[in-house]
C-alpha cells in the first residue's frame, strides 16, 4: 500500500472573468493549471509561491469549496481503507470526506462566527456530524481547548471571538478543526495575520499536534522560511503550476528551477553584516534538463526531487 492520504493529478481550476466592468468580453484566469502531487500519512507538504500563483484556489478545489475545472483528486477513506475519487462520492462518502479533511484559514476572525461563544464554535462540527453524546461533546470541547493551550478551558468557553487575542483566535480555529480528529488538514497561511512574536508558538503547536494526533498538513505559505520550519517536502508553485517539488532540505540545498532559486534568495538572513550575492536569473541548468528529457513535463532528477520543464522564461524575466 502506498499510504497516500491524497493523490492529485492534473488539477485545473480556471475562472472566467469579465475584461472590465463594462465589457462583455470574457477572459480565462488560469488560477491552477494542471498540478499533481501526493501527500502521505503523517507528512506535511508545503505549497509555496508568490501572491496570486494559485495556492488558495488549489486548497478550495481540494476541499470542494469550489468545483475544479478538471483533473482528479483521490482521498483515502479510512472506513473502506481505499483511495476514492472525490468526483463520485455519495452522501455517506461526503460525510467521511468532510470529517477527515478540514481547512484552517488565514484570517481567524473571519472564519469564526462573531455571535457565537468559543464553546459553540468548537462544538458545531461535532453537532453537525452527530459525533458523540451531549456529555461527550462537552468533554471533547474541554479536552481540545486544553490541547491547543487555552487553559483553563472554563475561562474560554463562554467568551466571544472579539474578546480574545488574534493568537488565541487562531488556537480556537485549530481546536475547531482538530476536534473532528481529521486525518488531513489544509492550512492556508494560518500565521500570516498574526504578530511575529506569536507566529512561532502557533507553528510549534501545529507541529506538536500533527505528531500527537497523527494529522497530515498541506501547508500553504508564501514564505519559504516558514515552509522549511513546518514541512517535510515543499512544492513550489508559480503561475498556476508546480515548478519544483522535493524534500525540504534537498530543495533548499539544491534548487534547480530559477524561480525556486529566486525564492530562496529572498529568505531573510538575521545577520546585518551579511551581504547577499545579487541573484541573476539563469536557465542553463534547467535548459539542459529540458533538452535531455524532451517528452517529460516533470523530470525526476534523483533524491525524490522533481523539476518542471514547461516554459517559464518569459514570465520570470518579466516579473
Ligand X SMILES: Nc1ncnc2c1ncn2[C@@H]1O[C@H](COP(=O)(O)OP(=O)(O)OP(=O)(O)O)[C@@H](O)[C@H]1O
Contacts to Mg ion by CB under 5 A: 56
Does residue 28 bind ligand X (CB under 6 A)? no
Of residues 44 and 56, the one with the C-beta less far from Mg ion: 56
Which residues are CB-contacts of 20 (< 8 A; sequence separation ≥ 6)?
none
Q: Which three cell numbers stand for residue 24?
A: 462583455
Q: Which residues pair with 108 in a beta bridge?
A: none
Closest CB 68 distance from ligand X, rounded Å: 13
Please report how the helices 166-178 and 196-213 are oriented relative to each other, as an axis angle in degrees rounded to 10: 20
Restricting to residues 196-235, which ones interact with ligand X according to CB under 6 A? 222
Of residues 26 and 276, the one with the C-beta less far from ligand X: 26
Contact 44/231 with Cβ under 8 angstroms?
A: yes
Restricting to residues 40-99, which ones interact with ligand X according to CB under 6 A? 49, 51-57
Closest CB 55 distance from Mg ion, rounded Å: 5
Does residue 130 bind ligand X (CB under 6 A)? no
Does residue 301 bind ligand X (CB under 6 A)? no
DSSP 176: H
Does residue 176 bind ligand X (CB under 6 A)? no
Closest CB 14 distance from ligand X, rounded Å: 9
Q: Which three cell numbers stand for residue 273?
A: 553584516
* Number of residue whose CB is nearest Mg ion: 56
3-class SS shares of the chain: helix, strand, coil, % to 5: 40, 25, 35
Does residue 15 bind ligand X (CB under 6 A)? yes
Find, among 36, 30, 101, 46, the residue nearest to 71 by Cα. Answer: 36
CA dihedral 141, 144, 148, 153 (to 10 degrees): 40
Residue 12 interaction partner, one of ligand X, Mg ion, none, beta carbon < 5-8 Å per kind: none
Residue 125 interaction partner, one of Mg ion, ligand X, none, beta carbon < 5-8 Å per kind: none
Q: Which three cell numbers stand for residue 39?
A: 501527500
Residue 97 interaction partner, one of ligand X, Mg ion, none, beta carbon < 5-8 Å per kind: none
Q: Which three cell numbers stand for residue 253?
A: 540545498
Residue indicated by cell numbers 462540527 = 125
Closest CB 32 distance from ligand X, rounded Å: 7
Does residue 31 bind ligand X (CB under 6 A)? yes
Does residue 137 bind ligand X (CB under 6 A)? no
Q: Which residues bind ligand X (CB under 6 A)?
A: 15, 17, 29, 31, 49, 51-57, 222
Amino acid at each position: 500500500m502506498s499510504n497516500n492520504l491524497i493523490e492529485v493529478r492534473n488539477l485545473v481550476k480556471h475562472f472566467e472573468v469579465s475584461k472590465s466592468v463594462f465589457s462583455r468580453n470574457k477572459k480565462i484566469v488560469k488560477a491552477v493549471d494542471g498540478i499533481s502531487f501526493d501527500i502521505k500519512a503523517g507528512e506535511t507538504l508545503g505549497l509555496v509561491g508568490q501572491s496570486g500563483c494559485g495556492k488558495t484556489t488549489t486548497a478550495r478545489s481540494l476541499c470542494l469549496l469550489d468545483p475544479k475545472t478538471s483533473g482528479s483528486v483521490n482521498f483515502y477513506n479510512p472506513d473502506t481503507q481505499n483511495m476514492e475519487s472525490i468526483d463520485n462520492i455519495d452522501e455517506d462518502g461526503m460525510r467521511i470526506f468532510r470529517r477527515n479533511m478540514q481547512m484552517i484559514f488565514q484570517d481567524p476572525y473571519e472564519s469564526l462566527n462573531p455571535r457565537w461563544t468559543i464553546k459553540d464554535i468548537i462544538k458545531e462540527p461535532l453537532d453537525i456530524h452527530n459525533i458523540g453524546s451531549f456529555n461527550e461533546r462537552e468533554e471533547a470541547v474541554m479536552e481540545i481547548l486544553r490541547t491547543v493551550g487555552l487553559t483553563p478551558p472554563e475561562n474560554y468557553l463562554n467568551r466571544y471571538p472579539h474578546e480574545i487575542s488574534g493568537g488565541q483566535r487562531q488556537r480556537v480555529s485549530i481546536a475547531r478543526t482538530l476536534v473532528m480528529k481529521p486525518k488531513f488538514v489544509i492550512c492556508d497561511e494560518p500565521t500570516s495575520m498574526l504578530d511575529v512574536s506569536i507566529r512561532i508558538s502557533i507553528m510549534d503547536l501545529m507541529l506538536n499536534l500533527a505528531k500527537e494526533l497523527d494529522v497530515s498538513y498541506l501547508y500553504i505559505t508564501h514564505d519559504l522560511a516558514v515552509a522549511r520550519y513546518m514541512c517535510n517536502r515543499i512544492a513550489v508553485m508559480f503561475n498556476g503550476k508546480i515548478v519544483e517539488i522535493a524534500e525540504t532540505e534537498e530543495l533548499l540545498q539544491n534548487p534547480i528551477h530559477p524561480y525556486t532559486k529566486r525564492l530562496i534568495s529572498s529568505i531573510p538572513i538575521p545577520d546585518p553584516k551579511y551581504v547577499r550575492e545579487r541573484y541573476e536569473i539563469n536557465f542553463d541548468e534547467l535548459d539542459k534538463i529540458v533538452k535531455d528529457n524532451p517528452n517529460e513535463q516533470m523530470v525526476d532528477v534523483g533524491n525524490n526531487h522533481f523539476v518542471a520543464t514547461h516554459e517559464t522564461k518569459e514570465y520570470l524575466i518579466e516579473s
